[in-house]
Structure 1
Amino acid sequence: MAGILLTCGYVALFLYLIARWRFFAVTGVGRRAIGALFLLKVAAGTVLWGVYTYYYTDRSTADIFKFFDDGNVMFSALPAHPLDYVQMLTGIGNDAPRFDERYYTVMNNWYRKYDTGYYNDAHTMIRYSAVVRLFSFGVYHVHTVFSAFLSLIGLVALYKIFIGFVPGLGRLLMAGLFLWPSVLFWGSAPIKEALLFLGLGLFLLQVFRWMKEPLPWTGWLLMLLGLLIQLGLKSYVLACMVPGLFALGWCRRTGDRHVLLKFGATHVIAALVIVVLPLVAPSLDVLAIIQQKQRDMLGLVAAMAPGSYIPTPLMEPTLLGMIRQVPHAFFLTFLSPLVTWDIGAMGLLGALENVLLLLLLPVAIFFAKPWSRIDLPIFLFCVAFCLILGLLIGWTTPVVGALMRYRVPMLPFYSMALLLIVDPHKLARWPLLRTP
């Protein structure tokens, strides 16, 4: 009962912040609607808890519990050894043998089974959980509420960026950002995706603001915070976005002439840098990292035999081998959930989401505005990000269950790309879809 009251208290606190904080005063959508979306996210995160409590019952392999449990181990240092707690949170001076003996070997996820030599993003989530533990008193659902609210901030930030490009489509934009099933479930639990949305929103809101006007020091701090969150969680998502951001900034600074040429040149240069980089810094061989990620995933498939595995040939360790797998990679990312619709409730939900993803494209084309009225730079930015991230996911992830989660950051940008081509005037027959 105490846990329920505490959880409800935090829900009430965040609803109050939504009602009072100026950040949530946005064009086209009222605060009550944002509050309702927050409650929906809390409910979705709670449903995910139920799935991993009563259906997938191996707590050690469920991300929603892995970071929570390891965060509790880190938090356990606070009463008797507060300096240890601070050192583990900051990563400063936390390499003494006692940290292994007391904490890290007790955790299940501090050390990778296969060390890649790169930052272990589980550390970020364990530290996050240890911080929220200060407020949760060990109640798991409080972590869900905090994560849902932080994710909400990030998604509202994305809304504030995009609404200026699609005036009159605020309700559709809000739905396209929030209501994908994968975004609702994976983006509302105490796992990486929720914090990733926070990082994306904070970072991009300030980047787009910077393209229009000089940033105050607070804007630079928020941009840095968003950047660090992304680097600490899923740096590859940021990497997939960087070429498009450079191209978009180029267009905004120099005018919107030759947009296709600017985007094409930027992405060709980025590809050449990736190919040449190992000659300068062998440890930054991006192609080898991608190929190794696929081999690791196929090895995991061989050990665990997941039901949603899609047979995938081993990628040849060459650039040509990667190019040959491009069609299969796009098939995995954009079509494979249709193949695994019959493996359970999650498979069916994933297939239905994929049907929606495919159907929305011809619907958007049917309601399209003239090409000359489309904001081409922002449209190409969204499309390029979706294609690059989709390609990377397809190259490395032949398991549909994992793939559905990894493509979560792509879905809001897919929605935005579609809305950019929609003509609001053609939606006059459906006033509920439009906003004043």
Structure 2
Amino acid sequence: MEIILCVAYTLFFVFLINKLKFFKIEGVSAKILSVLFIIKIASAFAITLIYTYYYKDNFESDIFKYFEDGKVIHSSIHNNPFDFLRLVSGIGADVPHLDQYYNLTNFWFKEHDYNLLNDNRTIIRFNAISLIFSFGYFNVHNIFMAFISFTGFTAIFKVFYNYFQEKRNLLIVSVYLIPSVLIWTSGVLKEGLVMFSLGFILYYSDKLLACKFQWKYVLGLIFTIFLLFISKFYVLLAIIPGLFSIAAIKLFKNKFAFYIFTSVHVLIFVIFFFFQVVFSHYNLTEIVSKKQHDFINMITQINSVGSQIDIPVLKPSLLSFVKNTPNALVNSFFRPHIFEIKSFMYIVPAIENLLIIIMFLLMIFFYKKISTDKFLWIWFCISFVLILFVLCGLTTPVLGALVRYKVPAIPFLFIIFITFIDFKKIIELSNNIIKWKK
């Protein structure tokens, strides 16, 4: 039955890809998009196999533990559908009799919440709702999340394809086909929801920046910002400076872009640190510092984390953050490297990081200048990659977790590379070398 449902839902989503206007992209056929979607599904099954046969501990593995808690929440629909609506919406979900469900879950509550929303509940609720249509078969959830994630990536692709149609194939690879991104954003994990919401935040923002004001774009933007807020709050924080920067640059018609970009970031960080002084419960430097300390303490207690790395201990001060930022960036950009491969799970990210080094070198030696009008969303890419990589590098003392947490920024890093590398010069040089050897 599970196989039949998986095939049926796959065919249904392929049908939507072929019929919906959103997926109509000039120069990119529905057949290509359908193949990319099938690759997403294959990646979802791959991460499921990894969690089943490599990590093995189903109780602690993210991909299964939230599914099991989702079953508990879903069970309420048989007893009282209104209770189910309360549980999945969060509205009126604090009534005492719902404790009968909360007490049966293992991850509905977090040991450390840092005065922030509990993002575990978002993926648990996704599973609870999906169970209505999956009849309890886990791999059907894989299909659902693969499509949701794929839709978000398509939104990202459409934003950048508007500016770089001549780089179609490179853009497809950068957005859809980076291996670590495929693996971690296709299965039943929070990252799928993150990429969906992130993609549509950019998509709706691009529409509004193009002066195409429609209420559907405004409402869509509000909804996806909220979804990202409850899925991965730190990713939302990482995109805010970039979005405000490109809005300001657009307002000034791309003039003085660098100065506007820098000024907006400085202004946002000043406002941000002033805000946390006034509202001490939301002191981000203290929250990030505590999060790092708790992460380090947790892996020290486990004492069996093979990918643990030493990172400087953060203090809840701006000076400590600035001092440790270079080390954070080095870890996020270049680790794990090829000399840190300890298992097959390290192979792909290590090769990707080697490729990142190569791409940096190519960008230096084969730099290509682009026109001002095409630079707008590249400013966002630069901002988002740097901020997310700093946050991940500062707080994550485990290489495996670092690979996963930085995944949302990886497509944008490769978009930067393919934008500024002159591949024609590389091809010409290669041809000249071949001719010279002959």
TM-score category (smaller protein):
over 0.9
Structure 2 match to 1:166 = 164
Work out whether residues 160 and 377 of structure 2, in 8 Å CA contact, stay in contact via their aligned partners in 1. Answer: no
Structure 2, unmatched stretches of 5+, are 430-438
In structure 2, how many angstroms separate the alpha carbons of the residues matched to 1:6 and 1:68?
A: 18
Structure 2 match to 1:413 = 412
Q: Which secondary structure state, in structure 2, belongs to the residue aligned with residue 312 of structure 1? A: coil
Structure 2 match to 1:47 = 46
Work out whether residues 24 and 30 of structure 2, in 8 Å CA contact, stay in contact via their aligned partners in 1. Answer: yes
Match for 2:154 among 156, 168, 171? 156
Structure 2 match to 1:143 = 141
In structure 1, how many angstroms separate the alpha carbons of the residues matched to 2:71 and 2:104?
A: 11
Structure 2 match to 1:434 = none
Work out whether residues 274 and 285 of structure 1, in 8 Å CA contact, stay in contact via their aligned partners in 2. Answer: no
Deviation at 1:361, TM superposition (A): 2.5
Deviation at 1:427, TM superposition (A): 7.7
1:388 aligns with 2:387: yes
Per-residue CA deviation, residues 170-202 of structure 1 (Å, 9 max, x unaligned), is 111011011111110111001111111110111
Work out whether residues 367 and 421 of structure 2, in 8 Å CA contact, stay in contact via their aligned partners in 1. Answer: yes
Structure 1, unmatched stretches of 5+, are 431-436
In structure 2, give the amino acid aligned to 1:38: F
In structure 2, how many angstroms separate the alpha carbons of the residues matched to 1:36 and 1:348?
A: 25
Per-residue CA deviation, residues 325-367 of structure 1 (Å, 9 max, x unaligned), is 1121112211221166322110122211211222222334455
In structure 1, give the amino acid aligned to 2:161: I
Work out whether residues 165 and 420 of structure 1, in 8 Å CA contact, stay in contact via their aligned partners in 2. Answer: no
Of residues 209-218 and 103-112 in structure 1, the stretch that sits farther from structure 2 once superposed is: 209-218
Of residues 158-167 and 273-282 in structure 1, the stretch that sits farther from structure 2 once superposed is: 273-282
In structure 2, give the amino acid aligned to 1:382: C
Structure 2 match to 1:291 = 289
Q: Give the TM-score, by structure 1 length.
A: 0.94
Structure 2 match to 1:318 = 317
In structure 1, how many angstroms separate the alpha carbons of the residues matched to 2:52 and 2:209?
A: 46
Q: Which secondary structure state, in structure 1, belongs to the residue aligned with residue 55 of structure 2? A: coil
Structure 2 match to 1:7 = 6
Deviation at 1:142, TM superposition (A): 0.5
RMSD, aligned α-carbons: 1.8
Structure 1 match to 2:207 = 209
In structure 1, how many angstroms separate the alpha carbons of the residues matched to 2:29 and 2:147?
A: 17
Work out whether residues 28 and 171 of structure 1, in 8 Å CA contact, stay in contact via their aligned partners in 2. Answer: no
Work out whether residues 308 and 397 of structure 2, in 8 Å CA contact, stay in contact via their aligned partners in 1. Answer: yes
Deviation at 1:373, TM superposition (A): 6.0
Structure 1 match to 2:95 = 96
In structure 1, give the amino acid aligned to 2:218: W
Per-residue CA deviation, residues 229-268 of structure 1 (Å, 9 max, x unaligned), is 1011112112111111111111111111211110111111
Per-residue CA deviation, residues 289-324 of structure 1 (Å, 9 max, x unaligned), is 111111111111211231111112312332222222
Structure 2 match to 1:352 = 351
Per-residue CA deviation, residues 93-115 of structure 1 (Å, 9 max, x unaligned), is 22122212x21111111011223
Structure 2 match to 1:188 = 186
In structure 1, give the amino acid aligned to 2:415: M
In structure 1, how many angstroms separate the alpha carbons of the residues matched to 2:278 and 2:124?
A: 34
1:404 aligns with 2:403: yes
Work out whether residues 42 and 148 of structure 1, in 8 Å CA contact, stay in contact via their aligned partners in 2. Answer: yes
Number of equivalent positions? 428
In structure 1, give the amino acid aligned to 2:83: D
In structure 2, give the amino acid aligned to 1:176: S
In structure 2, how many angstroms separate the alpha carbons of the residues matched to 1:425 and 1:346?
A: 34
In structure 2, how many angstroms separate the alpha carbons of the residues matched to 1:55 and 1:273?
A: 45
In structure 2, how many angstroms separate the alpha carbons of the residues matched to 1:251 and 1:108?
A: 47
Structure 2 match to 1:219 = 217
Structure 2 match to 1:247 = 245
Q: Which secondary structure state, in structure 1, belongs to the residue aligned with residue 362 of structure 2? A: helix
Q: In the TM superposition, what are the counterparts of 1:252-271 in structure 2 within 5 Å? A: 252-271=250-269
In structure 1, how many angstroms separate the alpha carbons of the residues matched to 2:229 and 2:405?
A: 16
In structure 2, how many angstroms separate the alpha carbons of the residues matched to 1:91 and 1:255?
A: 43
In structure 2, give the amino acid aligned to 1:139: Y
Work out whether residues 202 and 223 of structure 1, in 8 Å CA contact, stay in contact via their aligned partners in 2. Answer: yes
Given the superposition, is the C-alpha separation of residues 78 and 387 from structure 1 closer, same or farther in structure 2, using an over 3 Å criterion?
same
Given the superposition, is the C-alpha separation of residues 340 and 45 from structure 1 closer, same or farther in structure 2, using an over 3 Å criterion?
farther
Per-residue CA deviation, residues 120-155 of structure 1 (Å, 9 max, x unaligned), is 001111111111111100010100000000111100
Per-residue CA deviation, residues 70-93 of structure 1 (Å, 9 max, x unaligned), is 111111111122121111011122
In structure 2, how many angstroms separate the alpha carbons of the residues matched to 1:340 and 1:296?
A: 28
Work out whether residues 374 and 420 of structure 1, in 8 Å CA contact, stay in contact via their aligned partners in 2. Answer: no
Q: In the TM superposition, what are the counterparts of 1:13-28 in structure 2 within 5 Å? A: 13-28=12-27
In structure 1, how many angstroms separate the alpha carbons of the residues matched to 2:161 and 2:212?
A: 21
Per-residue CA deviation, residues 43-89 of structure 1 (Å, 9 max, x unaligned), is 11101111111221111111111111111111111112212111101
Work out whether residues 364 and 421 of structure 1, in 8 Å CA contact, stay in contact via their aligned partners in 2. Answer: yes
Q: Give the TM-score, by structure 2 length.
A: 0.93
Work out whether residues 341 and 348 of structure 1, in 8 Å CA contact, stay in contact via their aligned partners in 2. Answer: no
Work out whether residues 368 and 422 of structure 2, in 8 Å CA contact, stay in contact via their aligned partners in 1. Answer: yes
Work out whether residues 334 and 356 of structure 2, in 8 Å CA contact, stay in contact via their aligned partners in 1. Answer: no
Given the superposition, is the C-alpha separation of residues 371 and 175 from structure 1 closer, same or farther in structure 2, using an over 3 Å criterion?
closer
Give percent identity, aligned residues only. Answer: 32
Of residues 15-24 and 337-346 in structure 1, the stretch that sits farther from structure 2 once superposed is: 337-346
Given the superposition, is the C-alpha separation of residues 35 and 118 from structure 1 closer, same or farther in structure 2, using an over 3 Å criterion?
same
